[in-house]
Structure 1
Amino acid sequence: MSATTYNQLLHQAFPDSADATRYLSKPTLAAYQDLERASRPELSFRFERVRLAVAMALMKLLADLGDHADSRAVLDLMHRALRAGSTKEIDAIVTKEGKLFDRLYSNLYVNEQGEQLLNLFGETLEADSIAGMDELMAEALELARELDFTQEEDEEEETE
């Protein structure tokens, strides 16, 4: 069931075919199944790939919710890290660009839904178990289905 939730979350976050083609490679789409089949030595790396993909989906939702450059930069960072070949390489990529996280949290004004996405993003980066990640994915999918992407458009129309 969790592989289904994982794929539903990715497709909910990337509904546009151009974005899906750019961000959702076959290895990314198969990351949860790879985690389920991982041997003990591969487990950490496979878990990191799932965590990165979920974080990437959350940043895509946040970027679409508020059209925010810093969330798009973090989205691209997660995408680059997903292409890494090891946990050590993932850590190096993310550490090198750590300032993006500082900018994301300090320069972002968000509404309630955006705040929920940011909280889930933070929890995703700190998740340390498959069961915990499964809960986060389910919560993220539920939130993704409830997001109101028209709120910013409505506010712009009111000020005109």
Structure 2
Amino acid sequence: MEPALTSCPACGKTNRVPAQAAGRPRCGNCRADLPWIVAAGDADFAAVAEESPVPVLVDFWAVWCGPCRMVSPVLDKLARERPGRIKLVKVDVDKAPGLSRRFEVQAIPTLMVIVDGKVAARQAGAASAEVLRSWLDVALAGTAS
């Protein structure tokens, strides 16, 4: 999988961000944490999401889903607000039927927070930015040690 190109929120430089890595992505110019937003499918989900060194927000979505298109920019913003603290992994259900079955995705969008390879929180359906921010913050607070 090709690395994603991401602009550094601190200095504006464009960086290549791999889908999987042992650490957190940092800007090659100023060393600031970068937002980590990637796609995954049946073949690479375990390595990209379940083996992530940071908590993962998984978005099960589809191109044809109107509510998914409304939620997607909100999730991108949440990931950009938390560089180095979460990884946003987008899973297209039409291209990843195995993951949809495995996680029993009945409706889209379905969101999950995965910490240390385990589902820590789950939510189905579209919600407002405020509701999603609160849901994510509660899910991440439950993972703090």
TM category, shorter: 0.3 to 0.5
TM-score using structure 1 length: 0.30
Answer with 1 or 2: which has the greater Rg: 1
TM-score by length of 2: 0.32
Bigger share in helix: 1
Which structure: greater strand fraction? 2
Q: Which has the higher contact order (CA 8 A, sep 6+)?
A: 1
